[in-house]
Structure 1
């Protein structure tokens, strides 16, 4: 599949998770990081996005360790939480 099509699909799936909190966390992360991803990182995010929102959110805030297969640059960047917009 073409890289642009994959990214458009991931953009939609990242922003339409089912809860506002997951949309902000996962969608905000996608928006801030996807332009730098290699094809391997895109593939990893495609796998990650299939996980349950509560699990992804727990990995991001450090409540649970991420599975070994997700360890690396994407999960480490997800843990930074500097991509979540904060209303003032």
Structure 2
């Protein structure tokens, strides 16, 4: 994995909101390495969104603003985090 993706993966796991860390961090672990450059750009922009706002989108308690909608965010919304045993 290149340096940019490693840094994004680190940021995905350390947002400061544990529930969001688990969702976004595990999504990054699973998908970041295979993302296109455009998807990596979109992911990087999503990491700049405030925690409470992102969490409300992912849990469906708030509508995603039109300027934020995109295929990667939709994949993230559809992603089902499952805790790993151990």
Deviant stretches of 4+, over 6 Å = none
Aligned length, in residue pairs? 85
Select which of 78, 82, 85 maps to 2:82.
Answer: 85
Is the partner of 2:4 in helix, strand or coil? helix
Q: Which runs of 5+ in 2 are unaligned?
A: none
CA distance in 1 between partners of 2:42 and 2:16 (Å): 21
How large is the RMSD of aligned CA atoms in angstroms?
1.9
CA deviation map 1:3-50 (0-9, x unaligned): 711101101100011122121011111112212311111111111101
Q: Which runs of 5+ in 1 are unaligned?
A: none
Residue 87 of structure 1 and its aligned partner are, at CA, apart by: 6.3
Higher helix share: 1
Is the partner of 1:69 in helix, strand or coil? coil
When the two structures are superposed, what TM-score results if normalisation uses the length of structure 1?
A: 0.82
Matches within 5 A, 1:33-72: 33-72=31-70
